[in-house]
Chain A
């Protein structure tokens, strides 16, 4: 049955919490007023990356005024958990595996007493030799989970016939989520060992599961509630579990509410990051820059435990093609086990690490052939009717990539600006410019099929207002606003008649994390399904109502329309009742006014034993052009202009979606430019606060910033929309690639290399390297410094491998044509 509704005119309503946010009245975990008998919880973390615990002395903590209790793993019912493989130890037993791993939990009457008690606990730990690089993990042969692979065609045969081959190594750095609200939870003990956990989490069901398991409870004894998060970005998908379970343990032990709030320094030191990757690659291509084969070995730094690393590596492998057709591919991923906090989900989830690998390759092919990298990318782009299946066998349906590329090339005036940049770099003695267009094709759906489902509860009240509850959690992205709009539009009522409630496992069971950009797709669809069931029932009642009072009109529920707050029969729109009147009619007819909706994504699946399948419902596509300017003397870089063009289908709320695009782009840019995680040689994070860890500032937004979307109706998804949370982050790569492009103007015959992040120090290191390289070539002198990281006096952990290994090298060209530099007549040398 089709029941009509009309979409209201202006969908750009503000975020549903916007007024609370600007007034300071929105409530986050640590804003909840303390209960009278509440205790504060602090964690005593491992100070070393790897060690054996000799003894734990809590006697001095006991003497701290206000001390309530100290707990170890012995106070847990179980101690092992994990979202994919159950390999993680919550609280250290005899060995510590990373800095920040919980050893003891203390509870006290006040924040200051808890902190004093934490400091009074004495740990005696015998330090062992930690594994702090991927290279070292490879040497020790220590991995998490198994090896994953995707293969198509015959790469060896392609290499044998290749015009050109480039081999190289690429180091990709991690990044901290830097959600502004650090991990936080409060746990209230209830009767019969039931507990209510308020957590700043993207994944209430996961906390419910782990808390029940580790505390020896049934799942129905644990309720997890999330009103909102002060940012998540993936960092609260799995790692909000740890504080929640430890606070729950304290709440059960003390029978008192327990509050555990990380400060920013602890949070950054103890929690996992975006996975650093160390990738080896070998690519063959034609004279025209068309890739014929890609072989890649991806090594993710998983940290001490698996967490979500399996799925992160899986997404890296399924995204290493990005927007480009790979006729032959052999890509293999492994997860190195190191002594860092378990690395975890971070917006993009391995996708960015796969994508930057091939975007880097595109830049290198261009530098090698003397082509513009845009032309290399365009030549390799997935086609609409051919060259349109991925290396894992999924058809790239509804492919908007060629349209996006061709449109942005024109609108960004790419060719004209390239000519200007060529001229600028030849004349400027002080600055250097570069520009690059990079793409994103991001697969939407969880690669674990079971997670692609959601349920929603829609309750209609007698005044015509509605409460909606789903498994989606609100972290600022606006999922609650989207769902509120979808439901209001279904019933044809004002948006402000609908409230999306705090997420609770009590209302929505067995939910998936708010992740993979899919929260609106899944939960919005479930809410729409629930709403449609309710509409059918109300329409029956209203049809009867109109039929019984009007001569000549029978009761046809499918003629009933919900629009503008009214309900009417489309044959006689002038006779209408308000939505609230219809609800009251239905109530008097004893019709149920609450409903559950369920949604499961259809037509997706993937088999890792084959490395083949169609794991994604659709792809979100986009591309971006960024132009950068570099100070030749300091390496300081600024982004002069960025143009973004995306296909995000039909937006429910264009304003919120624009916020997602811009915010994700800037976050991706931060990962690749200023955000520099530095560790000591013992694996301790040095940059654990904003004083030293520099996320983008308001001045780092590109000086000129143009962001547009194309028209597209994504028919496979709710209301024709596409997911938008993660894909634009990948476009931050355009800034990094533009820096690499700038270096190609001064690298002479070398293909320039550039690590991530391309901070000013890294950039100046490369500028200096190429300057010296050219000087030494002139002088016929072979010895020169590779860069800034050969400094033995440095207290900083060097990158896993030096730049020497990261340089793309020409492979055996088998007598084929020598490299042509004719396309780059303007190669200048730095002053």
Chain B
């Protein structure tokens, strides 16, 4: 089958086919400058303020037609979605939310509660809150848990951590969220003829897209074989999935990849790449490389709440809707939020190439230096395997602000204790520790792990281990924290871990996502 020379998507129910150099622009620029849909605002152009939030409907191949409530549309940051990332999608902007030309229940709640002051952040809040209203109607909390939400205010806050407002102080926006009349809110899916949109998009989705323009090449493979075939011929092509990091680097740091492979069609056509399953025989979670962080979060909320808790403060809902776990791994940053957990959990990365087929790499062998990966230029990450254990697990992230911030320091502990007699101090049987933000890669602290075995689980032991950690690392000072700060955190986190996992600890963990 020949390749398409255009990307195919819908905006507010209208079909768009875009080819040539125009695909190398962001969705927000396309909306504002080509379509004059100026409701979508651009403030930071890096996914950190939410003013550009739009709703996206990505249909999996096997999915039944969407109608009514349910979290069909998800909010993403249009400023870091390039047009080559939205092939096969239906985009709804703030201009596309009115029903019968009247403002909807979310919009009227924001009007009535004074949720808008200067109005510049408002369209982004409105679109995100419409996704929230869908979730609320379906009884799904913002973090994706199937548990019916218990606390509406928490639910609203969780949904809106990706939207900054400088005027209101958020109180009125929370009030608006509480005031949404869910009985009259018409789900976005009901405003459009999704069946015909689906039919139209289905007609092109089996065809890969190849566009060469302005000395640049973008390939959107329709299946994994095409992807690996393309990489064999174009090793080192920049792979873009959610784009939550790559697109930021294009916008802000002068990155201009000549050759791009966009996975947006793969994630719609190949269910194995977006599936997340628990293999009960090996007690291992198998995560498709293109599974969104939001879906990873929802899955782990049931199986490893501690990891879901870290994902809860990972970026924002918009980032987690677009971003993938494989992307966080491939980005390779020493402050990647998911990595310390994957290190102590002993995760393995499955990679594939046309020439050599598949292989697996243990995660701590995957990083060879600052952003240096054990990943050949023709290889693609296809999956992540995470063994589940019964160990005591604690994950920590320290950042300037709790939500929507990049960490300055991260830590993960997995601990098992020898069973001891009643009243006796337990003895450490096995410990795995990983620290992030203290070196060029996330570090497994193997010396500490070895030393800990056989020591008693008490304050003295953990003070010794903390001092070992402080001596073992050599962190940098940067904008997220001074060297001394990181050294102190590395030392203190051992005390914190001990107090939280021993009976003498007085403060329980802070509340986690409902």
Contacts and interface: CB of A to CB of B under 8 A. Distances in A.
A791 B119 contact: no
Nearest to A264: B44
Contacts of A478: 117
A182 interface: yes
A767 to B, nearest CB: 9
B496 A701 contact: no
A24 B157 contact: no
Most buried by A among B40, B45, B119: B119
B235 interface: no
A745 to B, nearest CB: 15
A63 interface: no
Contacts, number: 265
A201 to B, nearest CB: 14
A709 interface: no
B255 interface: no
Interface in A639-661: 655-656, 658-659
B481 interface: yes
A633 interface: yes
The bracket for how many chain B residues form the interface is 35 or more
Given A15-B117, A230-B120, A686 B166 contact: no
A410 B260 CA distance: 64
B489 A179 contact: no
A180 B482 contact: no
Interface string B390-410: 000000101011111110100
A19 B495 CA distance: 52
B125 to A, nearest CB: 9
A264 B43 contact: yes
Most buried by A among B36, B167, B402: B167
Contacts of A793: 476-477, 483
Interface string B317-346: 000000000000000000000000000000
Interface in A475-491: 475-478
B262 interface: no
B480 A22 contact: no
Given A633-B496, A760-B400, A21 B43 contact: no
B247 to A, nearest CB: 13
A273 to B, nearest CB: 14
Contacts of A701: 169-171, 174
Contacts of B489: 633-634, 764
B107 A23 contact: yes
A263 interface: yes
A428 B507 contact: yes
A24 B48 contact: no
B434 interface: no
Interface string B28-40: 0000100011111
Contacts of B477: 791, 793-796
B495 A831 contact: yes
Interface stretch (A151-159, A278-286, A381-389, A689-697): A689-697
A181 B120 contact: yes
Interface in B477-514: 477-485, 488-489, 492-493, 495-496, 499-500, 504-507
Nearest to B508: A430
A632 B123 CA distance: 39
Interface string B162-175: 01111111111110
Interface residues of A, number: 93
Contacts of A145: none
Contact of B172 (A20, A22, A631, A662): A662
A19 B97 CA distance: 13
A441 interface: no
Interface in A662-698: 662-667, 674, 676, 678, 686-687, 689-692, 694-698
Contact of A667 (B93, B157, B169, B495): B169
Given A638-B402, A760-B400, A761-B485, A430 B114 contact: no
Contacts of A27: 38
A700 interface: yes
A656 B172 CA distance: 10
Nearest to A636: B398
Interface in B96-116: 98, 103, 106-108, 110-112, 114-116
A22 B116 contact: yes
B118 interface: yes
B319 to A, nearest CB: 12
B433 interface: no
A815 to B, nearest CB: 41
B252 interface: yes
Given A24-B38, A182-B43, A663-B168, A428 B506 contact: yes
Contacts of A608: none
A35 B504 CA distance: 70
A831 B116 CA distance: 45
B122 interface: yes
A638 B48 CA distance: 21
A71 interface: no
A695 B51 CA distance: 14
A764 to B, nearest CB: 6
Most buried by B among A658, A659, A697, A795: A697
B400 A796 contact: no
A664 B168 CA distance: 8
B118 A228 contact: yes
B213 to A, nearest CB: 14
A425 B109 CA distance: 41
A15 B119 CA distance: 10
A354 to B, nearest CB: 23
A788 interface: yes
Contacts of B168: 659, 662-663
Most buried by A among B38, B404, B505: B38
B160 interface: yes
A81 interface: no
Nearest to A666: B169
Contacts of A17: 116, 119
Contacts of A413: none
A520 to B, nearest CB: 15
A674 B400 contact: yes
Contacts of B32: 30-31
A130 to B, nearest CB: 20
B111 A22 contact: yes
Interface in A793-822: 793-796
B409 to A, nearest CB: 8
Contacts of A796: 477-479, 482
Contacts of B268: none
Contacts of A678: 479
A26 B119 contact: yes
Contact of B505 (A180, A430, A694): A430
Contacts of B405: 694
A327 B252 CA distance: 55
A270 interface: no
A35 to B, nearest CB: 14
B161 interface: yes
B264 interface: no
A699 interface: yes
A659 B171 CA distance: 8
A553 interface: no
A24 B94 contact: yes
4 pairs of A and B residues whose beta carbons are closest in the complex: A24-B39, A476-B118, A230-B120, A21-B119
Interface of B: 32, 36-41, 43-46, 48-49, 51, 93-95, 98, 103, 106-108, 110-112, 114-123, 126, 157, 160-161, 163-174, 248, 252, 396, 398, 400-406, 408, 476-485, 488-489, 492-493, 495-496, 499-500, 504-507
7 contacts: A14-B112, A22-B108, A430-B499, A478-B117, A634-B493, A658-B114, A791-B477
Given A687-B479, A692-B406, A701-B174, 10 more contacts: A21-B116, A21-B123, A178-B166, A231-B120, A428-B507, A429-B505, A477-B167, A662-B171, A764-B489, A795-B477
